Structure 1
């Protein structure tokens, strides 16, 4: 099973809040990506901490089966893009209601466009 490695997962409410409130945001039709590349203050003496990501998929997206499918797709997509993120960055991907009906390719395109905008790259 392909999952996001444990060291790359956001778990604490404070980390989600820091990424959303203090990070930059890029919106797309299916999702909104928040990126705080300020680093993790809890890992000050440990060197560069890995980028960490979290996902917000609310009930507005659909029933539990649809929400879980969207989360799995987003985790898989972001796992393949972790090497593009700055060390210590926090990323929160919030799925919008249309994400449940969208296919894998549309989610990928929206995620790539949002990350490209946040990281200062032209979209692929």
Structure 2
């Protein structure tokens, strides 16, 4: 579970990340990342977009829970450490294959997409 301060919840935050953020994708997810210079809140925040193309409500909620668990695990790992002076907002959009993909592949897709989106965002 993501702690409340680490969640993107407002439509304005999602719009900003989706419009101005750097994107990277895989067969199961598309990640948008937007760098925050001198963050005032938490160093990272994440939101999830799971449309009806993924499945019915039960499948969408299950997919969101799986993604939330993966992101919480990844952001605690030392491999995803952020530079000290930066914060980042992520928006993760699940594609239709995310619902049926095994956990290991989904985790690998999320991790590689997060890394690539973050690298692109830092280069801008």
TM range (shorter): 0.7 to 0.9
Give every structure 1 segment of 4 or more consecutive aligned residues whose post-TM-superposition deviation is greater than 4 Å: none
In the alignment, is residue 100 of structure 1 matched against residue 99 of structure 2? yes
- 1:119 match: 118
TM-score, L = length of structure 1: 0.82
Across the aligned residues of Structure 1 and Structure 2, the Cα RMSD in angstroms comes to: 1.8
- Secondary structure of the structure 1 residue equivalent to 2:65: helix
CA distance in 2, matches of 1:113, 1:78: 12
- 1:9 match: 7
CA distance in 1, matches of 2:26, 2:34: 18
Cα shift readout 1:2-36 (whole Å, capped 9, x = no counterpart): x1011100011111011111110001000100000
Q: Do the aligned partners of 2:6 and 2:42 also contact (CA within 8 Å) in 1? A: no
Pairwise CA distance, 1:115: 1.5
Q: Which runs of no fewer than 5 residues in structure 1 stay unpaired?
A: none
TM-score, L = length of structure 2: 0.82
Cα shift readout 1:65-87 (whole Å, capped 9, x = no counterpart): 11111100100010112252644
CA distance in 1, matches of 2:19, 2:4: 23
Looking at secondary structure, tell me which structure has more strand per residue. 2
CA distance in 1, matches of 2:81, 2:48: 16
Pairwise CA distance, 1:104: 1.1
